[in-house]
Structure 1
Amino acid sequence: MGDMKLQYTSPAAGWQQGLPIGNGRLGAVIQGGADKEIWSLTEATYWSGRAEEPQSATGGKAALAEMRERFFAGDYETGERLARATLEPPKGNFGTHLTLADLEILFDEGGGADGFSRELDLEKAIVSHAYSRNGSLCRREAFATHAADVLVTRLTMGETGGLSFRLALSGRTSLFSTGADASGYIRFRSQATEDIHSDGTCGVFASGIVHVAAKGGAIACEGNGLRIEGADEAIIYVAVSTDYGKTDSDWEAESVQAIELAAGQSYEALRAEHIADHGKLFARVSLDLGEGDNGQSALPTDERLRLLRSGEGDDPALYALFYQYGRYLTIAGSRENSPLPLNLQGLWNDGEANRMAWSCDYHLDVNTEMNYYPTEAANLAECQVPLTRFVAKLAEAGRSSARTFYGSEGWVAHVFTNAWGFSSPGWGLNWGMNVTGGLWIAMQLKEHYEFGLDRVFLKETAYPVLKEAALFFLDYMVVHPEHGWLVTGPSNSPENSFYPNGRTEGPEYALSMGATMDMMLVRDLFDFCADASATLAVDEELRARLKSAMEQLPPLQVGSNGQLREWLEDFGEAQPDHRHLSHLYGLYPGAQITPQGTPELSEAARTTLQRRMGREGLEDVEFTLAQFAASFARLGDGDNAHKQLTYLIGQLCFDNLLTYSKPGIAGAETPIFVADGNFGGTSAIGEMLLQSHAGAIELLPALPANWPSGKVEGLRARGNTIVNMRWEEGSLAEATIRPGASGTLVVCSGGRTATLEVETDRAYKLDGELQATMLRRM
């Protein structure tokens, strides 16, 4: 699989250099070096805030009709004033995900540390430190075991009785209490409270244990922590439980039970179980993009990043590492039984987003969606299950918002949500009125079905949730009096604004009718639900309504500058260098725009990308660069996709390869870790190698010149089809395809097309000309 490690020869000076571990619920970012380690601990459900019913001043269809009349008449000023009066609820106790605590390990060793190294092994999901001190080898390794549901680290010294350290735990919230006993336990209890996104009194309660099992030496209390003296080695276990979703007090015993079960195994058994559990997912895909000409893959990761930033040398293996890092973070942050999906910062939390107006929540105007864009194609379908469960619960909560704000049936959610399914509009017109935010995240159910073809999932989850979304939009949309099209509104193109009525300056507005993003999503929704109802042989009358409604939806349009229109009308762009590219959803991740099927719209999408990229004030945000890269991949432009990835990895990654949002973006005061860049970049690399959204499997659709030779195994196409391939001098050399369903399979590469009749229990080998050989039954 290659050298899948993040490697460093200097200590992690802070969070931005720390290395992340996670088991889908518990996480840590491990910082420090020879003299100390600091673990920034997180737990997926450790949220401030609480569940609250949606509130609207008046709402309903009458209020909608009045403001729509103003928008249709071009009176955007009055329309927005009316929208503020009825569609901006009080913030209430929305809350935010919070960092749980900091675990500090202080070592008492004397003398200098020689040959220091630290690394994160992506294949084993283990962080390790090694160095020599006074001639003795010191080793530490840590992991987050999903199988045992604890964090574990083992500390060893090269001499008997040479290990001495202090252990302390400090909370990140005001309600945090801790106590230690000499049998090697630190127990703590806390509540997730803060006063920016809630009133400071409400939030999830947590209870946890840090346990030290030492071989040799002595353990004593030191304040609220522990002191270990003269041990040969020590193993530290961390377990946490919370009352999220619990109705009794049994939750407090969960961490005790986890510690007892983990400590009851040998360290070797616990470690082997963890590696096997992680490996069954991670090992599904291997990627080799070559080593380049300068041997840079042997250098420390931070040095490789420095060279990439300065444009020195060629390091294709760094892109393969970045791709696999995204898969690692997916496995670490979102397992099949995770209680919540990945949030704005995945499973981890640097504490910075908590201080922001936008908080560490579930942004539904690209960020949370992008977290899961690579999951299916990267052969990690199980990791999307927490999101599918979450969306189903969001749909339940969203019924109240549909009734309260719009007087409509079905369900709706807007720009963001929290751990309790918040579904109301946000408190800002240019972002909060995103009426298709809930639909956008719900389209991941469509993706999950299309990749896996799980009919039970379609019947029990995807179709029921999306059917109710369709019922909402059928009830909510209105006929445009001028065009006769069925449109949404009032709504926005997330976070952007426009000049109406042919103006290029003056007052700018956010709300209009039938924004392009809305109409793309609604078309995909109606099309999927109509097909699903036929597949399941249900709801014939609804199917007819959906097909009729699709005929009334507005077409995608090209603007006066050759760009894809972002709004129904050809408005002037008030922020032509804006970070969001929502109206390109139909290009990526959707499939309404393809170079072969809609060449004119594809060129309009390309023009949109070039116009944004060409602006001096372009907001180069992590998710924007990932969107650029994936969009160019969909256009078959591998070199431009590679250029965007180079900027993302080289300019918008910390030393630990986690992506970040720059200061000044949406009010950020400091660089803030945002996980979507990691996942979006991983998805973009996958799109450059394999696409399957346009009715065919396309091999190497956007291979850049920088990756002339390589191989990949285990990529997943729609239809649950697994693809291995190797390429040389920029062209396909061979591929092996294992179809997930019998029937006709179309494969494309390099301008060639092959049509195969396939069976599910066979594999098919293709040469560079796409000549196929059927292999033995699997």
Structure 2
Amino acid sequence: MNQAKLWYNGPGAGWKQGLPIGNGRIGAVIYGGASQETWSMTELTYWSGKPERIPGSGKGKAGLEEMRAAFFNGDYNEGDRLAKQHLQPKKQNFGTNLSVCDVELRFGPEGEELKRELCLESAIATVSYKSEGSSFIRETFATHADGIVVSRIKGEQQGGISFSISVKGRTGHFSAIATNDDTIAFYGQATEEMHSDGSCGVFCRGQVKIVAEGGTIQSSGSEIIVTDADEATVYFAIHTDYRQTDDEWMTRSTKQIAAAIAKGYTRLKADHIADYSALYARVSLDLGDTDHAKLPTDERMRRLQNGQQDDPGLIVLFFQYGRYLTIAGSRADSPLPLHLQGVWNDGEANRMAWSCDYHLDINTQMNYYPTEISNLAECHVPLMNYIERLSASGRHAAQDFYGCEGWVAHVFSNAWGFAAPGWETGWGLNVTGGLWIAMHLKEHYEYGLDQSFLTKQAYPVMKEAASFFLDYMTVHPSNGWLVTGPSNSPENSFYTNNRSEGPQQLSMGSTMDQVLVRDLFSFCLEAAGLLDTDLELQEKLRAAIALLPPLQIGKNGQLQEWLEDYEEAQPEHRHLAHLFALYPGNQVTPRGTPELSAAAEQTLIRRMTDELEDIEFTAVLFATGFSRLFDGDRALRHINHLVGELCFDNLLTYSKAGVAGAETNIFVIDGNYGGTAAVADILLQSHAGEIHLLPALPAAWASGSFNGLRAKGNAEVGVSWEAGILTGATIHAYSAVPLIIRYGDRTATIACEAGQTYVLDASLHLIDREATAK
């Protein structure tokens, strides 16, 4: 059976059929077949552009007062004009992550019985086939343990391996040359002219080296030719000068490959699997056995597309694939977090108005939705470090554009921590974009309860964000509420009472802003109390929280997206930013706020029009929204739609052509990560002070089990169920905190001790307690 494998019985015609591997810095998508193979190579720091301080208009708070006066007086067009004048910088050298190169391998004639597979348990991509009566196998992996990509090519007969290999650059400033018979050295600079001036960008140096047993190796120009070898191993290494202070990076690839060759392939592979499986093996999920795992992955996807929803194993595969992609793309020592395409890049986003960057109005956040619950907290660390650096550049943005203390960032960012508004206020003036991404500091702390992390990283960064909003926000003259603005509800638009003015995007006090600010102030108040610090700030926060607007229900029964009950200009819009209050936040819950929950449900239902902008992250927003409303059947419907309708054959998610200017179905990885989080949320929720078991179990998942999912309060959870009913649960506690366990209407409170495992029966009665195995 192939429960933990993506596999295909034919060649991968192109990138969208390729299999992704990665080590948290280097990414590769491998496609082709028996006669040829291409590795599309990427590196997380290979960015065009450069660090720049973007100047503001210099009017600061005085400019804000002018804009706000216009909005408060109902003159939205004048407010928009002033915002463009004061808060709309020109695009400069923002840059984008770029593909580095293609490694091209050419073999002999076409083979038979071709099988391509990606094993999620070992993180190894394999191609096997027969040719001229002999069997061949190629296995390739990106090892985090040794920092390189390795591939071994073998046949069952001695002298049966012959191939050529070359390196082709994906950017204009790139060269590759064979430095001796077994090595290709390459050099490049990440330059392009869509998102920067074509002259600035990170430099890279790398190397491809071949080691063969038997046969001959010779070079011809920039190509290496292997003839009649018994087997061959290919080593690929790359490094860049990103944030480097000396020239040591220029020789790092050579040293890594030399060390890998000295270690030998067998040890490299064993160390890779051990390093990877230490993370991957933490979580198991079983939703019932079927025979469909015997089918190739693309055939299983076609079945789902055709309405055959009897393959829960495909959802398990998608879930574990998301965890695999997290480990492959984001490790504790990764120099940058996951971008729009993770650590991979097909080049599509870079050739149009999109950018392969850090979108801060859903995409980057969604990339990290599954890390904590799916027991990959270490993979969250690169984002924590990036947010801290972003806050540093965000201090300049707060001063330059608003004349405020603290820090702010907006709709997107880059490798150097760009924090200014985007170059069009309609989508670029998302004043809580930085705050939204900073909420991951709160999430990371609530799951792990790491006091050192809270003291040294989470609280200082969040405190400075709170300082900005305390300084920046203003009291609404009509109702006395403390509001943000001018800002937008990400990328959405509305009509005022004067519809003749046309669609508007900027307003005061959007719901998204208020939800995030309330969570920020509440977290900082709680953390300051826990750390016994900043008494004056605590008083300011209490006073500010009391003035924040409440969540409101509009005339159509929906959760209002704006402070006023505006009419949506695009009822089919892809963004649902204000539902952060439902997921991943918890200001709206079915038990705590039933009326607001009904309004959130109405928002979801109203958005599902025939004209819906149907893209990967919207499917996730529906799935997680219905999961939080305990409607598992609806949540699963949207997960099935994501997997069956919004994935390429390699199970990577995409945004449909035509949405937000996409010229083709374009790979965006947040659907993979968000879909993984949605599956987990159906099975386990931990918010609003409770660990909720099977909160939204769909009828299609009648029996099953999971183990190793993580809950807030530093606990791991295992659950089993039959015929839709809980049969038992285990709670592995890693901190001495009380935990409330819920199943349906039943609750139990456990006064946990660190290092203890608590076994519960179907009625949540404690039936056993033992030391947690490490």
TM-score range, shorter chain: over 0.9
Q: Does the CA-based 8 Å contact 2:734-2:756 persist in structure 1?
A: no
- More displaced 10-residue stretch of structure 1: 48-57 or 578-587: 48-57
User: Does the residue aligned with 2:468 lie in a helix, a strand or coil?
Assistant: helix
Q: Does 1:640 align with 2:640?
A: no
Instruction: State the distance in 1 between where 2:647 and 2:771 align.
Output: 45
SS of the aligned residue for 1:328 comes to helix
Output the CA distance in 1 between the equivalents of 2:161 and 2:366. Answer: 44
1:266 aligns with 2:264: yes
Q: How many Å separate the matches in 2 of 1:181 and 1:598?
A: 68
Cα gap change, 1:471 to 1:750, in 2 (>3 Å): same
Residue 548 of structure 1 corresponds to 543
Q: How does 1:659-738 map to 2 (within 5 A)?
A: 659-738=653-732
Measured in 2, the distance between the counterparts of 1:272 and 1:173 equals 35
Q: Within 2, Cα distance between the matches of 1:515 and 1:609?
A: 18
TM value normalised by structure 2: 0.99
CA-to-partner distance for each residue in 1:69-128, whole Å, 9 max, x for gaps? 000011000000000011110110000000000000000x24x52211010000100000
Moved over 6 A (4+): none
Which of the numbers 752, 755, 762 marks the counterpart of 2:746?
A: 752
Q: Does 1:314 align with 2:307?
A: no
CA contact (8 A) 1:762 1:774 kept: no
1:11 aligns with 2:4: no
Shift of 1:770: 1.1
The 3-state SS of whatever aligns with 1:31 is: strand
Q: CA deviation at 1:183?
A: 3.5
Using the TM superposition, give the Cα deviation of residue 741 of structure 1 relative to its aligned residue in structure 2, in angstroms.
2.1
Alignment of 1:423 onto 2:402: no
Partners of 2:720 and 2:499 lie apart in 1 by: 51
Determine the C-alpha separation between the residues in 2 that align with 1:91 and 1:129: 45
Does the CA contact (< 8 Å) of 1:100 and 1:171 recur in 2?
Answer: yes
Task: State how far apart, in whole Å, the 1-side matches of 2:386 and 2:453 are.
Answer: 14
2:617 alignment counterpart: 623
- Structure 1 residues 563 and 125: CA distance shift in structure 2, 3 A: same
CA distance in 2, matches of 1:504, 1:556: 25
User: What secondary structure is seen at the aligned counterpart in 2 of 1:496?
Assistant: coil
Q: What's the secondary structure of 1:559's corresponding residue?
A: coil
In structure 2, C-alpha distance between the alignment counterparts of 1:44 and 1:353, rounded to whole Å: 15
Post-superposition CA distance 1:382-431 (Å, at most 9, x none): 00000000000000000000000000000000000000000000011221
| Structure 1 partner of 2:449 | 453
Match of 2:346 in 1: 350
- Residue of structure 2 aligned with 1:761, choices 755, 761, 772: 755
- Tell me if 1:187 matches 2:181: no
Once residues 259 and 494 of structure 2 are traced to their aligned partners in structure 1, the CA distance between those partners, rounded to angstroms, is: 59
Q: How does 1:328-727 map onto structure 2 within 5 Å?
A: 328-501=324-497, 503=498, 507-613=502-608, 615-727=609-721
Counterpart CA distance in 1 for 2:58 and 2:716 is 52
**Cα separation, 2, equivalents of 1:59 and 1:222:** 62
Pairwise CA distance, 1:505: 6.4
Q: Deviation of residue 445 (structure 1)? A: 0.3
Contact 2:181-2:224 within 8 A present in 1 as well:
no
Q: Return the offset for 1:313.
A: 5.0
Return closer, same or farther for 1:443/1:627 CA change in 2, 3 Å cut-off. same
Aligned residues: 772
Q: What CA distance in whole angstroms lies between the structure 2 residues aligned with 1:532 and 1:670?
A: 46
Q: Which moved more, 1:242-251 or 1:333-342?
A: 242-251
1:757 is displaced (CA, Å) by 2.2
Give the deviation of 1:496 after TM superposition: 0.4
Contact 2:77 2:501 in 1 (8 A): no
Shift of 1:504: 5.6
What is the CA deviation profile of residues 686-732 of structure 1, one whole-angstrom value per residue up to 9, with x for unaligned ones?
Answer: 10000001101000000101110011010000011010111110111
Report the alpha carbon displacement of residue 59 of structure 1 after superposing the two structures with TM.
Answer: 3.4
In the alignment, is the contact (CA less than 8 A) between 1:505 and 1:574 conserved in 2? no
SS at structure 2 position matched to 1:214: strand
- Paired position in structure 1 for 2:61: 61
Q: Distance in 2 between matches of 1:59 and 1:142?
A: 56
Q: Cα–Cα, structure 1 residues 313 and 456, in superposed 2: closer, same or farther, change >3 Å?
A: closer
Instruction: Say which SS state the counterpart of residue 97 (structure 2) adopts.
Output: coil
SS in 2 for 1:670: coil
Note if 1:91 corresponds to 2:91.
Answer: yes
Which amino acid is the alignment partner of residue 555 of structure 1?
P
1:600 corresponds to which letter in structure 2? E
Q: CA deviation at 1:740?
A: 2.5
Q: How does 1:21-170 map to 2 (within 5 A)?
A: 21-107=21-107, 109-110=108-109, 112-170=110-168
- Secondary structure of 2:45's match? coil
- Aligned: 1:740 with 2:738: no
CA separation in 2, counterparts of 1:409 and 1:313?
53
Specify the code of the residue in structure 1 equivalent to 2:730.
T
Asked if 1 retains the 8 angstrom alpha-carbon contact of 2:327 and 2:379, the reply is yes
Residue 772 of structure 1 corresponds to: 766
Of 213, 222, 225, the residue aligned with 2:223 is: 225
Deviation at 1:232, TM superposition (A): 0.7
- Flag structure 1 segments of 5+ consecutive residues without an equivalent: none
2:295 corresponds to: 299
2:246 to 227, 245, 248: 248
SS in 1 for 2:200: coil
Helix, strand or coil at the partner of 1:46: strand
CA displacement, residues 520-548 of structure 1 (integer Å, 9 cap, x when unaligned): 00000000000000111110110110011
Tell me the SS of whatever aligns to 1:272.
helix
Report if the CA contact (8 A) 1:519-1:554 is conserved. Answer: yes
Q: Is the 8 A contact 2:411 2:428 kept in 1?
A: yes
Is 1:204 the counterpart of 2:199 in the alignment? no
Provide the rounded CA distance (Å) in 2 between the counterparts of 1:609 and 1:209: 51
Percent of aligned pairs with the same residue? Answer: 58
Greater CA drift, 748-757 or 647-656? 748-757
Residue 487 of structure 1 aligns with an amino acid whose one-letter code is V
Once the two structures are superposed, residues 319-377 of structure 1 have per-residue CA deviations (whole angstroms, 9 ceiling, x without a partner) of: 01000000000000000000000000000001101112121000000000000011000
How far apart in 2 are the matches of 1:168 and 1:46?
Answer: 20
The 8 Å contact of residues 2 and 294 in structure 2, kept in 1 or not, is answered as no
Distance 1:762 1:150 in 2: 39
Q: Secondary structure at the match of 1:100?
A: strand
Q: Is the 8 A contact 1:7 1:119 kept in 2?
A: yes
Contact 1:27/1:144 (<8 A) preserved: yes
CA distance in 1, matches of 2:271, 2:413: 35
Give the superposition deviation at 1:768: 1.1
Structure 1 range deviating more: 732-741 or 276-285: 732-741
Q: Hey, what's the Cα distance between the residues in 2 that align with 1:509 and 1:324?
A: 42
Cα shift at 1:506: 5.3
In 1: Cα distance, 2:354 partner to 2:534 partner: 40
Q: Is the 8 A contact 1:59 1:87 kept in 2?
A: no
* Paired amino acid for 1:61: K
